Structure 1
Amino acid sequence: MHQTNPPHDCPRCPRLVAFRHDNRRAYPDFFNAPVPNWGDDRPGLMIVGLAPGLKGANRTGRPFTGDYAGDLLYATLGKFGLASGHYKQRPDDGLRLDGVLIVNAVRCVPPQNKPTPEEIRTCRDFLAESIEVHTPRAFLALGRIAHDSLLSALGEKRSAYPFAHGAEHILSSGTVLFDSYHCSRYNTNTGVLTTTMFEDVVGRAARLIAT
């Protein structure tokens, strides 16, 4: 049986388990567990993020829900017909993804938003299983860590597909990988990523899966 999501009390990464328990004591009303995939079970596009934010997805239990990254991501998906409804930073807002599944390279919130290389490797099984089960036509990697972990999950050589914002890679399987800087508040506030830059990449991915 395929396991695309970790169990609620996944024991694999000791540091993340300890942080989870700390957060359960500090924020008892938060989700505080590995955040599962969310979206369309038959996606044309799989979006791969890094990890849940402490007061975003770790609070709400839905990827990119509850912080600025979700504001930009879901508004952009809606603009290109990949989401319907209205995003309101909570999991019961009625938002629906159309042809898109969102997964994270690391499912538990890491301290300071920085998973270790070992934690990324340990969680990769769930990414690989998600790919096998959902068989998307294209991928959108948000940031270098998501890009690298995705390539490893696919058995691709990282050196053959270097990360760059706006890059469009045709993988050995014929699947297309789009790269974008992560849609975090830090990247947008510093001008590393603009709304126009992000919309360009998402728009190209949307057009590809529509053909």
Structure 2
Amino acid sequence: MLDVAAPPAVSPDPPRDCPICPRLVAYRAANAAANPTWFNGPAPSFGDDEARLLVAGLAPGRTGANRTGRPFTGDHAGILLYETLIATGFATGFYDPNGEDDLRLVDCMITNAVRCAPPGNKPETVEEANCRPFLQARLAALPRLKVIVTLGDVSRRNILRALGLKASAGIAGHGSEFQAGPYVVLNSYHCSRLNTNTGRLTPEMFRAVFERARELVG
């Protein structure tokens, strides 16, 4: 079994004014200047501290979690994700794109490999590495974790690196399933508009991943 203990003195979520990545700090400041009522900070994880399922995205969207402060809330990807979590029993309540809802995750937590919104929705490799201690701490803070759903291959590679494995470990592609240390990893195409509008990812394909996660957690 891999040692998934968190690095010393690292919280599962970065501070609101995290200064580590200069490019992301500058982008955060620019967004705050233009939209002062937005969250404009590293988006914290959201969900159940006793979760057996972790859903890992790549980074917050500028008008999504960067605006609302909750992962996958406010952008197109959140609609399919939260509808699917509700349908498969990993969430209750209703989802509102502004976060003004009673949504609650059940046996599930959502996080991102990079916690600050990146320009163009594309974090740089060094930014992924800088944020990895927080991802490691998030994994270590979930004592009952059994299954990780990665949304996209970049998320999958970051999870593997956080577990001390090579980024090439495991199996790429939608619907892939493999063991990574103590966890089963299920990989899905990201639920972004780019994939759903083109038919690369259908609601049925996406739901099948979470139905499999349901089977695995019991």
**Correspondent of 1:68 among 64, 76, 82:** 76
Partner deviation per Cα, 1:95-130 (whole Å, 9 max, x = no partner) = 000000001000000000000000001001100001
**Correspondent of 1:148 among 127, 140, 157:** 157
Query: Is 1:100 matched up with 2:100?
Result: no
Shift of 1:91: 2.4
State how far apart, in whole Å, the 1-side matches of 2:142 and 2:46 are. 12
What fraction of aligned residue pairs are identical, expressed as a percent?
A: 49
State how far apart, in whole Å, the 2-side matches of 1:207 and 1:61 are. 30
Task: Give the aligned partner of residue 166 of structure 1.
Answer: 175
**Which residues of 2 match residues 49-198 of structure 1 at below 5 A?**
49-135=57-143, 136-171=145-180, 173-198=181-206
Shift of 1:67: 1.2
Shift of 1:89: 1.2
- One-letter amino acid of the structure 2 residue matched with residue 182 of structure 1: H
Q: Aligned-residue CA RMSD in angstroms?
A: 1.0
The number of residue pairs the alignment matches comes to 209
Shift of 1:161: 0.7
Task: Give the aligned partner of residue 4 of structure 2.
Answer: none
- Identify, as 1 or 2, the structure richer in helix: 1
**Correspondent of 2:29 among 21, 27, 37:** 21
TM-score norm. by structure 1 comes to 0.96
TM-score norm. by structure 2 comes to 0.93
Runs (4 or more) in structure 1 with deviation over 2 Å come to 157-160
> Residues 10 and 133 of structure 2 are in contact (CA less than 8 Å); yes or no, is this contact kept in structure 1?
no
- One-letter amino acid of the structure 2 residue matched with residue 207 of structure 1: E
> Residues 2 and 133 of structure 1 are in contact (CA less than 8 Å); yes or no, is this contact kept in structure 2?
no
Aligned partner of residue 29 in structure 1, secondary structure: coil
Note the residue ranges of structure 2 that are not aligned, 5 or more in a row.
1-8
Note the residue ranges of structure 1 that are not aligned, 5 or more in a row.
none
Task: Give the aligned partner of residue 201 of structure 1.
Answer: 209
Aligned partner of residue 141 in structure 2, secondary structure: helix
**Correspondent of 1:5 among 2, 8, 13:** 13
